[in-house]
Chains A and B, each alone.
Chain A
Amino acid sequence: MTTAQPPDLPPDLPCIQFVELVTEYLDDALTPDQRARVDAHLEACPYCADVLAQWQMTIEATGRLREDEVDLIDPTVRQSLMTAFREARPVS
């Protein structure tokens, strides 16, 4: 026999629910009540604090791909685009 689930997050947020909320938490997309419960959980649970840190490091590492510029524009493509611009839009 299961008891009725509360409509919002349970007071003691289980870790298995926290890990589903990390992105919403980081996007500040939780309600103030939800956010307070997540904050309280993070205070008490070092493992979930580690998960949050890992999530942030994952985002940081992903962001480094931009600086890495693996997909810099091909110079010949750039040149042909500049030519197309010049021909279509002569300096007025």
Chain B
Amino acid sequence: MPGVAADFTDDDVLVAALRTGDEDAFGWLVDRYHPALRRLALGYVATPSVADEVVQDTWLAVITGIDRFEGRSSLKTWIYRILMNKARTRGVREHRSVPFSSFEDDAITSGFSPDRFRPADDPGWPGHWSSPPRPWQEQPHERLQATETLDAVRDAIAQLPPNQRQVISLRDIDGWSSEEVCNVLSLSQTNQRVLLHRARAKVRRSLESLLDPSRP
């Protein structure tokens, strides 16, 4: 349909266009999901080049399988499931699969050290702050958008365990809903939130050391 801007955000329009060989539709799809697919694959396999292969295999499966797509899930979920299956298979072959049930066993997930709170036997305020956080609002707002800040966020995410990295990437970078993340990663809502909470806690802590230099 030259000259007509098709609404590819509508799955029906997109799938129909893909089936008739519309290159604009496929290009739109690749541009929209490739970076996120690659981020997700990196959580499962050993190297960026293997992740690239997994993502390319996924796209080839989409190309050849689009006629069999039945629309029981969104196209996006369907594509991500293909990716997850291929990445898991590759990860297992490389002995690098990550069981989602393996949580760190510390009870504190928020990233705040227990010694920042009054002890449970405190006569006045048990469990309340003894060393409260300093507000970041006093920091110039531009600080949050600075390259230095984004680098700190990126580094913090790169150092997360793969399962936490995948959840925070899909939720907070790609803006997925918790339902979509649970669906694609086969997680319960509870597990998904624990992983997300731990991941955000670590990113917050790395920002705290940047935005509040009085704290180590």
Contact = CB atoms under 8 A, between A and B. Distances in A.
B173 interface: yes
Contacts of B97: none
Nearest to A23: B197
A41 to B, nearest CB: 10
B15 to A, nearest CB: 12
Query: B interface, how many residues as a size bin?
Result: 35 or more
A48 B30 CA distance: 42
Contacts of B109: 20
A23 B196 contact: yes
A91 B20 contact: yes
A91 B112 CA distance: 57
Contact of B30 (A55, A61, A81, A86): A81
A89 B126 CA distance: 66
B150 A84 contact: no
Interface of A: 14-17, 19-20, 22-24, 27, 29, 45, 47-48, 50-51, 53-55, 57-66, 68-73, 77-78, 80-82, 84-86, 88-92
Q: What are the 6 A-B residue pairs with the smallest beta carbon separation, nearest first?
A: A14-B127, A47-B132, A19-B110, A23-B197, A89-B21, A62-B172
Interface of B: 18-23, 26-27, 30-31, 34-35, 38-39, 52, 56, 59-60, 63-64, 66, 108-110, 112, 114, 117, 125-129, 132-137, 144-145, 149-150, 153-154, 157, 168, 172-175, 178, 189, 193, 196-197, 200, 203-204, 207-208
